[in-house]
């Protein structure tokens, strides 16, 4: 392991820090965080240095600025350049981060992330495109779940194995670069509410309140299920620390998916 403490941060190191920043709640940015400790080990820096870099990135995050949350005010020009380049193309950010991590660990990307289905694909453009898609899906799930504190934004269910990173604007009609893996296009839901949202039986309004379609209200169900399902109507969802649902994505779901 190299000792890079005291040296300027490289492009590759900053990419890794930005990728981890996206997947980490602001309150969990600290030198005791196991993922920060692991990244520090990988790049030859102290956990304190990595957490400071992530706090510097936080200081230029407009989502946190809107809420009055400020990181350390000593970011570099490189931080700003990388944020500007990748903040609207997080799939590429995550892919580049995994490529860098794989190189540092002398592994392949498919060794770091379970990409079993592409291991036998011949090298080429199709394989790389498929790998980027899978890495993007992996990044999207981790980022959305972590942004919501690994809790369903409707029920508060806190069991990651039972949670879904649900797209607000469907994957199939989302822009590949700016929407498909954009955490602002995601909600953390339990499987029942995920399916109901996907089929347009529920939605959220511009104030993040739950709206329930008459189509599901008319469905036969026992009283306990009805009370559980309908009890969340007009309640505001649990909002994430960062990557709040984009109003344009919500509007799309209201106009094109929800069954009024």
Q: Which two tokens stand for residue 75?
A: 């970011």
pLDDT of residue 4: 67
d(CA 145, CA 194): 13
Residue 260 clears pLDDT 60, i.e. is over it: yes
Pairing of β 202-204 and β 186-189: unpaired
Mapped onto helix, strand or coil, the DSSP state of residue 234 is coil
Confidence class of residue 186 from pLDDT cuts 50, 70 and 90?
A: very high
pLDDT of residue 96: 92
pLDDT of residue 120: 52
Tell which wins on pLDDT, 184 or 27. 184
Place of tokens 């820096």: 45
d(CA 61, CA 189): 25
Confidence class of residue 237 from pLDDT cuts 50, 70 and 90?
A: very high
Residue 117 clears pLDDT 80, i.e. is over it: no
Residue 115 is given by DSSP the state -
CA distances from 97 to 20, 204, 252 (A): 9, 33, 31
Rg of the chain in Å (alpha carbons): 20
Residue 148 clears pLDDT 90, i.e. is over it: yes
pLDDT of residue 241: 82
Average pLDDT of the residues in 7-29 = 92
pLDDT of residue 114: 61
Q: In the chain, pLDDT over 90 holds for what percent of residues? A: 65
Residue 254 clears pLDDT 90, i.e. is over it: yes
pLDDT of residue 67: 67
Closest CA to 190 of 245, 150, 223, 217: 150
Q: Which two tokens stand for residue 145?
A: 């779940």
Average pLDDT of the residues in 18-27 = 90
pLDDT of residue 62: 84
CA atoms within 13 A on the CB side of 248: 6
Confidence class of residue 9 from pLDDT cuts 50, 70 and 90?
A: very high
Computed from CA positions of residues 82, 84, 85, 88, in that sequence, does the dihedral angle turn out positive or negative? Answer: positive
Confidence class of residue 50 from pLDDT cuts 50, 70 and 90?
A: very high
Confidence class of residue 221 from pLDDT cuts 50, 70 and 90?
A: very high
pLDDT of residue 91: 83
Convert the pLDDT of each residue in 151-166 to its tens digit. Answer: 999 999 999 999 999 9
pLDDT of residue 118: 46
State CA 28 to chain mean position distance.
Answer: 15
Residue 104 is given by DSSP the state H
Q: Which two tokens stand for residue 72?
A: 């350390």
Which strand (E) or helix (H) includes residue 13? helix 11-22
């Amino acid at each position: 392991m190299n000792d890079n403490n005291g040296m300027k941060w490289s492009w590759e190191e900053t990419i890794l820090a930005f990728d981890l920043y996206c997947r980490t709640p602001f309150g969990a940015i600290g030198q005791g965080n196991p993922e920060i400790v692991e990244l520090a080990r990988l790049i030859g820096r102290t956990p304190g240095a990595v957490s400071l870099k992530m706090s510097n990135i936080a200081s230029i995050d407009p989502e946190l600025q809107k809420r009055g949350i400020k990181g350390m005010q000593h970011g570099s020009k490189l931080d700003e350049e990388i944020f500007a380049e990748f903040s609207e193309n997080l799939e590429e950010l995550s892919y580049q981060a995994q490529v860098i991590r794989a190189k540092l660990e002398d592994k392949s990307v498919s060794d770091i992330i379970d990409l079993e289905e592409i291991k036998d694909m011949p090298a080429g453009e199709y394989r790389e495109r498929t790998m980027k898609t899978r890495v993007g899906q992996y990044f999207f799930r981790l980022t959305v779940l972590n942004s919501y504190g690994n809790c369903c934004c409707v029920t508060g269910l806190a069991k990651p194995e039972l949670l879904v990173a649900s797209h607000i604007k469907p994957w199939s009609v989302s822009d590949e670069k700016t929407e498909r893996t954009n955490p602002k296009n995601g909600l953390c839901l339990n499987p029942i509410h995920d399916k109901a949202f996907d089929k347009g039986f529920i939605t959220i309004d511009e104030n993040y309140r739950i709206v329930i379609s008459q189509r599901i209200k008319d469905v036969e169900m026992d009283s306990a299920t009805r009370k559980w399902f309908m009890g969340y109507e007009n309640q505001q969802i649990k909002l994430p620390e960062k990557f709040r649902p984009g109003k344009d994505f919500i509007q799309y779901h209201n106009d094109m998916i929800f069954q009024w």
